[in-house]
Amino acid sequence: MRNFVVAAWERRRKPERELSVIKADTAENAIVRLAASRPEAEQAGVYEAWPVDEPGCNLRLTFAPRQKPS
């Protein structure tokens, strides 16, 4: 397991980045851990993750709000 810095923000409502350090096997797992720890209404947004010791190696994912079936 490695320590990853995860930056999270929602472009429209909260443009400032929230930084967290999360222990995980991969950057993807670090992002999922952070997103899953938030209330469902706050999970959508942009997430970036990078190893603490390799800041130039980052991953960016965008989570969209869930579409309610009609």
Dist. CA 27–CA 17, nearest whole Å: 17
- Residue 64's pLDDT is 83
**Tokens (6 digits) for 17:** 């980045």
- Return the amino acid letter for 1: M
- Residue 50's pLDDT is 96
Residue 14, pLDDT above cutoff 70: no
Predicted TM-score of the model (pTM): 0.83
Dist. CA 2–CA 39, nearest whole Å: 25
- Residue 70's pLDDT is 67
pLDDT tier, 63 (very low <50, low <70, confident <90, very high otherwise): confident
Task: Write the pLDDT tens digit of every residue in 16-60.
Answer: 788 999 999 999 999 999 999 998 888 889 999 999 999 888 999
**Tokens (6 digits) for 6:** 């995860």
- Return the amino acid letter for 28: E
